[in-house]
């Protein structure tokens, strides 16, 4: 059975949506497409497995306290590939 991470919306207004994502090991977001440009900031070290629409899978580590930005249109499933819980905050720019 697939376990979905916990997504907690912290702010959702006309300009931004801020969501905290918390994952136990092996939990995932489920497949989704980003409708907005977005920024991710890692709260913990995030050992992510990214499943992509072309069938590719890649693993990345985003260290705690670091951030990255992506443009709208990204489609993927994010899985906690590490042995411990991971958390990050996503800010969507509407």
Tell me what percent of the residues of the chain surpass a pLDDT of 70. 99
pLDDT tier, 5 (very low <50, low <70, confident <90, very high otherwise): very high
Q: pLDDT tens digits for 43-89? A: 999 999 999 999 999 999 999 999 999 999 999 999 999 999 999 99
Name the one residue in this structure whose structure tokens are 């899978």.
57
How far apart are alpha carbons 83 and 91 in whole angstroms?
Answer: 26
CA-CA distances (angstroms) from residue 38 to 2, 16, 54, 55, 81?
25, 9, 22, 23, 22
């Amino acid at each position: 059975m697939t376990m979905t991470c916990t997504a907690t919306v912290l702010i959702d207004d006309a300009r931004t949506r801020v969501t905290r994502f918390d994952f136990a090991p092996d939990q995932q977001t489920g497949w989704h497409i980003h409708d907005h440009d977005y920024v991710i900031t890692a709260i913990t070290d995030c050992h992510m497995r990214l499943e992509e629409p072309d069938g590719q899978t890649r693993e990345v580590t985003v260290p705690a306290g670091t951030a990255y930005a992506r443009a709208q249109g990204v489609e993927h499933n994010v899985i906690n590939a590490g042995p411990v819980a991971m958390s990050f905050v996503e800010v969507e720019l509407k």
